Amino acid sequence: MKTTIELPDSLILKAKDTAKKLGISSDKLLHKVLEGYFEQLINTEIMNIEKKNTFDAKTVAELLPKYICHRCVNKVLEYNEKGTFGGEKSPMTIMFIDIRGFTTMSENIGPEEAMSVLNTNYYVVVETVMIKYNGAILKFIGDGMLCAFGMPTPSPDDADQAIRCAIELQKEIKKLQEKQNKEKRIKIGIGIHSGDVIMGNIGHPKRLDFTIIGDPVNLASRLEDKARSDEILVTEDTLALASDKSIKNEFIESFLPKGKTKSINIHKILWP
């Protein structure tokens, strides 16, 4: 398939006149002109593509906070720019939250209504309190959540912030209970532990998840499993890191996690 390129008449006349003065073939000069013309077209197209990519990047930056924690957006973009795959070791305080009796509630009011309760009430409360205490919601796991304090940058008061956040969450959920009819009332259990985790890109290069992994994450999850409705369970490690020693708590038990040789002491936060 042949493509015809029409050059402006003024350009052709100028090329012929210049060729005559230089004593060279006008066709040869026009060929050079045509090369320059194509180069200009290509450069213009590249600029248009770059503009489009800039717009796309802006759109992605606006969407990212809706799908990952707003506190982690810049870190995710930094990892992407560097092409970083894997993670880095970082101290954090990890919190797991889970609704007690959610399956029963879903059966009683139906899955659509249960989802509405989560989105319009529960998650709104949790997100608001998390932001207040510099917490990061990393994952929604069914009706549960994985959260972290000190992500992406650790702070000396991460343990304090996590405990205060948990206490306020329980208080706010209790207020929410008073506004709901009995079959829609939400009660939560919370588990908190502190330690060094691996933070970064986990998964396949084509499908990554910016998250945290490690024993402290698993242990925090175990504590959440043990927590009853309205309870906040924390490890002695987290209490030791907290500077506020006035936080009321009581020792519950000592247990040996699977695969470990050292027992973990668990305390219940007395929040009411």
Q: Are residues 223 and 176 in the same domain?
A: yes
Q: Is residue 54 part of a domain?
A: yes
Q: Give 92's strand partners.
A: 195
Amino acid at 115: M
CATH no. for residue 130?
3.30.70.1230
Q: Are residues 43 and 162 in the same domain?
A: no
Scored b (16 or more CB within 10 A) or e, 14-30 reads ebeeebeeeeeebeebb
Q: Where are the beta strands (DSSP E) in the chain?
A: 86-100, 135-141, 144-149, 187-204, 207-213, 232-235, 249-255, 264-269
Domain of 60 in residue numbering reads as 9-66
Q: Is residue 237 part of a domain?
A: yes
C-alpha 229/C-alpha 261 separation (Å) is: 30
Q: Is residue 2 part of a domain?
A: no
pLDDT of residue 50: 54
Q: Is residue 108 part of a domain?
A: yes
- Name 124's Cβ contacts closer than 8 Å, sequence gap at least 6: none
Q: Are residues 102 and 13 in the same domain?
A: no
pLDDT of residue 264: 94
Q: Are residues 123 and 241 in the same domain?
A: yes
pLDDT of residue 103: 87
Q: Is residue 109 part of a domain?
A: yes
Q: Is residue 159 part of a domain?
A: yes
Q: Are residues 203 and 156 in the same domain?
A: yes
pLDDT of residue 120: 85
C-alpha 16/C-alpha 78 separation (Å) is: 54
Number of structural domains found in the chain: 2
C-alpha 239/C-alpha 103 separation (Å) is: 32
Q: Are residues 53 and 141 in the same domain?
A: no
Q: Are residues 21 and 156 in the same domain?
A: no
Q: pLDDT in tens for each of the 272 residues of the chain? A: 555 555 566 666 766 776 676 666 666 665 665 566 555 655 666 566 555 555 466 666 677 777 777 778 777 777 777 666 668 899 999 999 999 988 888 888 998 888 888 888 899 999 999 999 999 999 988 889 999 999 999 999 999 999 999 999 999 999 988 888 888 889 999 999 999 999 988 888 778 888 999 999 999 999 999 999 999 999 999 999 999 989 999 999 999 988 888 899 999 999 87
> What's the pLDDT tens digit per position in 181-198?
888 889 999 999 999 999
